[in-house]
Amino acid sequence: MARKAGIIGGGVIGGGWAARFLLNGWDVAVFDPDPEAPRKVGEVIANARRALPALSDGPMPPEGKLSFASTITEAVEGADYIQESVSERLDLKHRVFAQIQQVAPGTPIGSSTSGFKPSELQQNAANPATIFVAHPFNPVYLLPLAEIVPSAKSDPALIDSAKETLREIGMFPLHIRKEIDAHIADRFLEAVWREALWLVKDGIATTEEIDEAIRMGFGLRWGQMGLFETYRIAGGEAGMKHFMAQFGPCLTWPWTKLMDVPEFNDELVDLIAGQSDAQSGHHSIRELERIRDQNLIGFLRVLKERNWGAGKVLLDHDARRRQAMPAPSPDHAQPMEMARMHVLPGWIDYNGHMTESRYLFAASETSDAFLRHIGADIAYVGTGFSYYTAETHIMHLGEAKLGDALSGTVQVIHADEKRLHIFIRILKGDEAVATLEQMLLHVDMKAGKTCAAPPAILDRLLPIAKAHAALPKPEAAGRHVGQKK
């Protein structure tokens, strides 16, 4: 039975939470008094459906059931987890928590607040132990970070359980040990934001120039390494002490105005808004979201390929899913869906079609996912053994274009101690746009020759091969190049 998440507040953040839970198989009930909430949340979820599956190397779980509740009570009844994302007004949050705890006094309640401390949220609550900060970052359905901030009144076991819930939906819960206004990330962002306002106000830079400085330079560094690790490297072989000795004195130099806030008046607002309109006004918000999503997908997949930073979170999440995948039984044998992908801008040729190399890439993603499923993953390769592809035969059966959603399935034709013979289908919906037949050999890399796979792998592989033996052999299997259809 699917678990239920109650989402209170259907704005950008609440909609992102709804999408994150829904696409990870949870039933989701949303409450928001705004009559436009179903449309707004629906648009966010539509963007998430285009984006989130592209981060996974395996099939997404069946999508949960989405409903819109007419009351807070209806939204949280029977919920296993509740996320509050209403406006940043403490009195409003207190009223929401009071209504929630009338019907769900023991259910974890995470607050998306970007500024309030958990002790402030817990004031006068019927059960303060269940209320904590779970502050995400937009888009919630793609970015893994959630700042988890408990207070002295929080239930440690409940906090641990909530963090595990967030890991299960692919997030990275960062446990903040001491509560503080605006937590960690927003305090840092506020300092950068304040300096940026001064740079614009003083005519030193425009909004676009500031954004270019971030996204063309240090923003990319921060995205994969953070602040201190970046500076540690800047110190060279001598490390962080050398960096601090070199650059520490400049902290007293008048470079920034971080402690001096510009007057936040209409003139400053108009200046910032006008420059931002000139910079980005030719795109709608939804277009900007989709551009952002595709850029983040590319960035995150690169990090995933390197098992680094946020990419490691994605790999760990894929590993959880693989462990939960049951092996097919003889009564339910079918090709195993192992990968889902979207045709990205870099995948297409001048005709607007997916290039030949990307069909092979899609097949490689599919076979690699299958190898990870049977235990032949990167850790196994580190032991000196691997499966090598000895032969591949590809047939191009259809066209895939920009934005198309693709899936890859594996059918095991034969497997023994040393050989793995598989048939891969790259599907667009139910239509095969390509099939690939592959022969892989289990290899001792140091000896440079084939060898028997260990029981740990064969125990996962051979039952699949036995189940798939009941399937009809693919018509294309065994074909040679140029053979008549």
| Closest alpha carbon to 380 in 464, 457, 461 | 457
Nearest to 142 by CA among 322, 319, 297, 339: 297
C-alpha distance from residue 30 to each of 5, 9, 15, 38 (Å): 9, 7, 9, 9
Q: Is 12 annotated as a binding residue?
A: yes
- Cα 165 to chain centroid distance, Å, stands at 15
Give the integer Cα–Cα distance in Å for 131 and 107: 9
**Phi, psi torsion values for 389, nearest 5 degrees:** -80, 120
Q: 3: closest CA among 161, 173, 174?
A: 161
374 a known binding residue? no
Check whether 348 is labelled as a binding-site residue.
no
Cβ proximity of 434 and 364 under 8 Å: no
Is 131 flagged in the annotation as binding?
no
248 is in an annotated binding site: no
The rounded radius of gyration (Å) of the Cα atoms in the chain is: 26
How far is residue 80's CA from residue 96's CA, in Å, rounded to a whole number?
17
Closest CA to 56 of 287, 290, 372, 358: 372
Q: Where are the alpha helices (DSSP H) in 281-403?
A: 285-305, 310-324, 356-373, 378-381
Strands 81-84 and 109-111, by their bridges, are: parallel
Tell me whether residue 419 is exposed, middle or buried, using C-beta atoms within 10 angstroms of its C-beta: 0 to 12, 13 to 18, 19 or more: middle
**3-state DSSP assignment of residue 322:** helix
Beta bridge partners of 224: none
9 assigned to a ligand binding site: yes
3-state secondary structure string across 468-482: HCCCCCCCCCCCCCC
| CA 455 – CA 467 distance, rounded (Å) | 18
Residues of the binding site for NAD(+):
9-14
Residues of the binding site:
9-14
